[in-house]
Structure 1
Amino acid sequence: MERPDGELIKMAYCNFCSQVNRAHPVRNGTKNMNLHYSICKGNPMNEESLKQLKLCFTKKENNGDGEGCSIGTLQNWKYDEKAIKRSLIELIVLAELPFKFVEHPAFIKYSKSLQPKYNFPSRHTISRDVSKFYVEEKKKLYKFLGNLNHTIHLTTDTWTSTCQKINYMVITAHFVDDDWVMHKRVINLKRVNNHRGEDIGRVLLKCINEWGIKNFMTITVDNISSNDKVLKYLIEHLPGMYDNGKHFHIRCMAHILNLVVKDGLKVYEKAVETIGSAVKYIKSSSQRIEKFKVSIKNTCDSNRFLIAECPTRWNSTYDMLKSAIDLQEAFYNYSLKNASFSSDLESIPRRADFHAYQRVCDFLEKFKEITELVSTQSSPVAHLFYSEILDVDKHLRDWEVVSNFDKMVEKMRLKYDKYWGDYKKINHYMYFAVLLDPTMKSEILGYGFRHLMEKGCIPEENEFDVDTPFEILIVPEKEDKIKVLVSEVETNMGVLFGLYNEKYGTKLTVNSSDVKKSSSTQCTNTTRRRGNTFLNSFKSQNSNRSSGVDDELRKYLKEPPIELDDEEDFDILLWWKVNSPRFPIVSKMAKGNKY
């Protein structure tokens, strides 16, 4: 090719697409043509269908407990820029990495060693891609939440930023998808002007409308008085709720446990303050921290260190006491070598005090376990609520006769009874969740009611109120009263079943001949707590019962509960996924009640 100035330029002609590229042997070489050859759309070797696929082993995703499965699958693999880009976006989002991470030389070097063909985006490009990714995911979630076939549960939490002095509220949606996998999605983080009930209610209602949520069952809130006004406002402005919203409100179990334990700890307030002051004193200075580490090395050689408590979370108080007990010899050694420790503080932990601290920790350990259980996000726990609160009741009764714990238990009992002391105070949805646990069903309800009746929590003949079933006041025998209470729960659940039957009955059919009953060995995951003494006593005294509810629900309730060994795991969502063909409507109820 000749340039306007008369200079001849050597060019190369592509036989596939007719594109012309410079090919000067010195200036250009073969680089241009090699690059063009690899991306030329006319090159048959670049057609996806003609590329040779590669085989690779792909491990299964995490099973929910943080451990990946060692058994994978053999799959075809081919280079896919879109898939790499998607994975990079997910890495940035899930790991909360800065956008400039993609430009870090070490990351580029590492990634190029894996796949040199990929052209990495700039931080500006990845920023735009993340924004697009957010919009796409929001559209998917909006479509899911707005589907009438999906039941949504909402939770809220409000707090005041200590540094900004601003009130915030986070709104979270919980649901089980079509594959019986539980999800948690934060759908809004809103600034609220104050904690007044109606103002919070307006913010919640606006969020519900913005997301197009049409089929939600419950909302879980903490127990401040303003939330009663929040719920009243929502019920007034959200028509069509089951039972006029009577069972709409779920009290946060973790929050109630926090209130119960904090009331009990007031009895040992001075002792707890002694530990807390000592921990703050040591951790407030880097020099003191180093000296205390030396004391740890000289006495117990532990990898643990002191934990400071958070005023709003009782479990941090437990962690503080537990760490102090493990390091009690270090406290003694530190006090001997640092005279200012005892002179600067009003009181310091003494060797003789740690036995009492240990007893308090022994008592609080069960509350710690239950709090961690009900706070889990990866699996449903609603069906465990009933057995756990009754285990708390049993735990309090066991310790109220222990020396030096009677006053502490008395204070905790008052708070416990305020929220859970009367069987009528428990939301019926929580009873439904128990019935929908194939390992419990009605049996544990009856066992629990018997336990409450023996402790005086079930009304006698002359203790009538408007919410007490009339039948229970006229039957003389205790076992008959228990049957009435269980029957009442089953009847109420039957009403809910009727609503589901109207909605899904014509779409779903039962084909039990094609589906065998599943055994508990098919289920491999659990959130069940091993140390539930109430549940263990129920298993040892399980008795027969009969149901008064008809149709598919009656069939489900009549089947005996699955018996589990103490160490046997049980995945309730997997069980319902396997058995949904046998119980198509009841499984829909289970999907809506498990969160």
Structure 2
Amino acid sequence: MVHICLKVILNAIYRVRDNIKVVTLTPSRMQAFNTIVQTSGLKAKSGLNLDIPHRWNSTYDMLNEALKYKVALNRYAAEQYHEAPSDYEWANVEALHGFLQKFSEATKVFSADRHPTSHLFLKMLLAIRDVLLDETWNTNELLHEFANRMYIKFQKYWTNPNMVLLIAVVLDPCMKADFIKFYFHTIGENVDLKMRELKWYLKKYYLEYENIVRIHTLPVFNISNEQATSESAESGTSSLGLVCGKRRVEFAFVQFVSQNSDARSERSELDVYLEDPRILVRPDENFNVIAWWKKNSDAYPILSLMARDFLAIPVSTVSSESAFSAAGRILGEHRTSLSPETLEALNCSINWLIGFDYEEEGEPFSGQRMFGSDDEEDDE
């Protein structure tokens, strides 16, 4: 969505990027830039953020820093006879920066890897929608065009979220199914139809997890008295046998109650959880949903297993992709200045020089054999 609007002011972004490349190209230029920075009353920098064009959040970070050093960048460009962004281009950059700030915050929430994110998905989706429909963008023709283009993409991909992510939202005790109703009501969908579909999937998954729990506990209930006696004798200590016996009694009691209870129409864990009131938290409070399920695992043993699995699903692949991203280490920070052909040639050269395993006549590869020894050079 963001790349759609970045194309509208591509020239302004290119001009800012080009000026930052000029400043950061050599240490001497960076030193000259810092001299201007200090005379302007700003904080000196060891370097400036240079974006990676296909990662819009890095473009936002670059523009965010460029706006802080706007005066210094313009003055440096004037002293070095380099073309700086015009006042109109700076105005467009400033407008874009303010517009993208909310999307940058949402990206940081989605790409976090230290806490679960799947249950936050729907809330951030509504926040993005609210930003796109904000009427304040109508006062600026450029921002109005941004919002319209992005909202078309939003409607295309995000009006019907994945059911797994909806279940993850339900498993947040602060939102439950009430937030799902609120979401579909807000976007104008058929709430009753969507909620029936959601409850069908919730029940389906709940029964699957209930079967898993039953399969793992049934062998304990079927242990005969002889087996229990032999296991107790083989345990080595009477205390361990007592613990095992106590556990078997507890499981047997649970089975007895479930088999002989007359109240077959009692509510399931899922029904109890959905009908219980939501946990009320302040908007600025950092609620730990994993800790809540761990604390309430005795009350909801089956649902806690569901929550463990569903809340572990990451919303974004950013964190996993960045862990395996080697472009910065292999090609450096200024790789965006190079053409695709040059990048490919550099990557191949590194593999040939470092990872090439060459053997000739049974002897290992060496730099002297490839380029010629000193003796050979003398003979020539």
- TM bucket (normalised to shorter chain) is 0.5 to 0.7
- Given the alignment, which residue of 422, 436, 449 partners 2:184? 449
Report how far residue 301 of structure 1 moved: 2.2
Structure 1 SS opposite 2:8 = helix
**Amino acid of the structure 2 residue aligned with 1:439:** C
In structure 2, what is the equivalent of residue 431 of structure 1? 166
Report how far residue 275 of structure 1 moved: 0.6
Report how far residue 431 of structure 1 moved: 0.5
Cα shift readout 1:436-475 (whole Å, capped 9, x = no counterpart): 000000111111101110xxxx3xxxxxxxxxxxxxxxxx
Q: Does 1:290 align with 2:31?
A: yes
In structure 2, what is the equivalent of residue 273 of structure 1? 14
**Amino acid of the structure 2 residue aligned with 1:432:** I
- Checking the alignment, whether the CA contact within 8 Å between 1:332 and 1:350 is kept in structure 2 is no
Cα distance in 2 for residues equivalent to 1:292 and 1:417: 45
Q: Note the 1:107-506 alignment, pairs <5 A.
A: 260-304=1-45, 305-339=47-81, 341-342=82-83, 348-351=84-87, 353-398=89-134, 400-403=137-140, 404-420=142-158, 422-423=159-160, 426-453=161-188, 458=189, 481-505=190-214
Q: What TM-score, normalized by structure 2, do the two folds share? A: 0.65
Report how far residue 373 of structure 1 moved: 1.1
Structure 1: which 5+ runs fail to align? 1-259, 343-347, 459-480, 511-548
Structure 1 SS opposite 2:277 = coil
In structure 2, what is the equivalent of residue 44 of structure 1? none
Q: Does 1:558 align with 2:275?
A: yes
- Checking the alignment, whether the CA contact within 8 Å between 2:184 and 2:191 is kept in structure 1 is yes
Structure 2 SS opposite 1:405 = helix
- Checking the alignment, whether the CA contact within 8 Å between 1:282 and 1:292 is kept in structure 2 is yes
Report how far residue 351 of structure 1 moved: 4.6
Cα distance in 2 for residues equivalent to 1:429 and 1:336: 55
Cα shift readout 1:485-537 (whole Å, capped 9, x = no counterpart): 22320221111101111111465799xxxxxxxxxxxxxxxxxxxxxxxxxxx
- Checking the alignment, whether the CA contact within 8 Å between 2:138 and 2:144 is kept in structure 1 is yes
Cα distance in 1 for residues equivalent to 2:15 and 2:184: 42
- Checking the alignment, whether the CA contact within 8 Å between 2:40 and 2:72 is kept in structure 1 is yes
In structure 1, what is the equivalent of residue 293 of structure 2? 576
Q: Report the structure, 1 or 2, having the larger helix content.
A: 2
**Amino acid of the structure 2 residue aligned with 1:412:** M
Cα distance in 2 for residues equivalent to 1:351 and 1:294: 23
Cα shift readout 1:521-557 (whole Å, capped 9, x = no counterpart): xxxxxxxxxxxxxxxxxxxxxxxxxxxx951101001
**Amino acid of the structure 2 residue aligned with 1:589:** M
Structure 1 SS opposite 2:7 = helix
Cα distance in 2 for residues equivalent to 1:507 and 1:572: 26
**Amino acid of the structure 2 residue aligned with 1:401:** N
Cα distance in 1 for residues equivalent to 2:89 and 2:19: 14
| C-alpha RMSD of matched pairs (Å) | 2.1
Report how far residue 278 of structure 1 moved: 1.1
Cα distance in 2 for residues equivalent to 1:441 and 1:402: 38
Query: In the superposition, relative to structure 1, how do residues 445 and 303 fare at CA in structure 2: closer, same or farther (>3 Å)?
Result: farther
Structure 2 SS opposite 1:267 = coil
- Checking the alignment, whether the CA contact within 8 Å between 2:119 and 2:171 is kept in structure 1 is yes
Cα distance in 2 for residues equivalent to 1:550 and 1:407: 52
Cα distance in 2 for residues equivalent to 1:506 and 1:558: 27
Report how far residue 400 of structure 1 moved: 4.8
**Amino acid of the structure 1 residue aligned with 2:90:** F
In structure 2, what is the equivalent of residue 528 of structure 1? none
Query: In the superposition, relative to structure 1, how do residues 484 and 503 fare at CA in structure 2: closer, same or farther (>3 Å)?
Result: same
**Amino acid of the structure 2 residue aligned with 1:380:** P
Cα distance in 1 for residues equivalent to 2:52 and 2:138: 30
Query: In the superposition, relative to structure 1, how do residues 589 and 571 fare at CA in structure 2: closer, same or farther (>3 Å)?
Result: same
Report how far residue 585 of structure 1 moved: 0.3
User: Bigger relative contact order, structure 1 or 2, given CA contacts below 8 A and separation 6+?
Assistant: 2
Cα distance in 2 for residues equivalent to 1:303 and 1:487: 59
Cα distance in 1 for residues equivalent to 2:187 and 2:33: 49
- Checking the alignment, whether the CA contact within 8 Å between 2:9 and 2:92 is kept in structure 1 is no
Report how far residue 419 of structure 1 moved: 1.5
Show structure 1 runs of 4+ deviating over 4 A.
506-510
Report how far residue 574 of structure 1 moved: 0.3
Q: What TM-score, normalized by structure 1, do the two folds share? A: 0.42
Structure 2: which 5+ runs fail to align? 218-249, 252-265, 313-380
Q: Report the structure, 1 or 2, having the larger strand content.
A: 1
Cα distance in 1 for residues equivalent to 2:302 and 2:89: 58
Cα distance in 1 for residues equivalent to 2:139 and 2:310: 39
Cα distance in 2 for residues equivalent to 1:427 and 1:337: 55
Cα distance in 2 for residues equivalent to 1:319 and 1:299: 22
